[in-house]
Amino acid sequence: MNTLRISRRPVAALAIGVASLVGALSAHAAYNPPIHMVNGIEYMSGGISSDEATLMQTVAPRWPATFEFAIKHGSRSDFAANVAVTVRDASGRAVLSHVTADGPFMVARLDPGRYEVEATLADQTLKQAIEVHAGAPTRALFLWPPGTDMSAHS
Mean pLDDT score, 33-58: 95
**For residue 19, is it within any domain?**
no
What percent of the chain clears pLDDT 70, i.e. is strictly above it?
Answer: 77
At 9-32, the pLDDT tens digits run 444 443 344 343 344 344 445 578
Rounded to an integer, what distance in angstroms lies between the CA atom of residue 129 and that of residue 110? 13
**For residues 32 and 95, which has the higher predicted lDDT (pLDDT)?**
95
Domain count, the chain: 1
**For residues 17 and 92, which has the higher predicted lDDT (pLDDT)?**
92
What percent of the chain clears pLDDT 90, i.e. is strictly above it?
Answer: 69
**For residue 1, is it within any domain?**
no
* SS3 (DSSP) at 91: coil
Longest dimension (CA), the chain: 90
Average pLDDT over the chain, rounded to an integer = 83
Rounded to an integer, what distance in angstroms lies between the CA atom of residue 123 and that of residue 41? 25
> What's the pLDDT score for residue 75?
83
**For residue 77, is it within any domain?**
yes
Domain that holds residue 106: 36-151
85 close to 100: Cβ distance less than 8 angstroms: yes
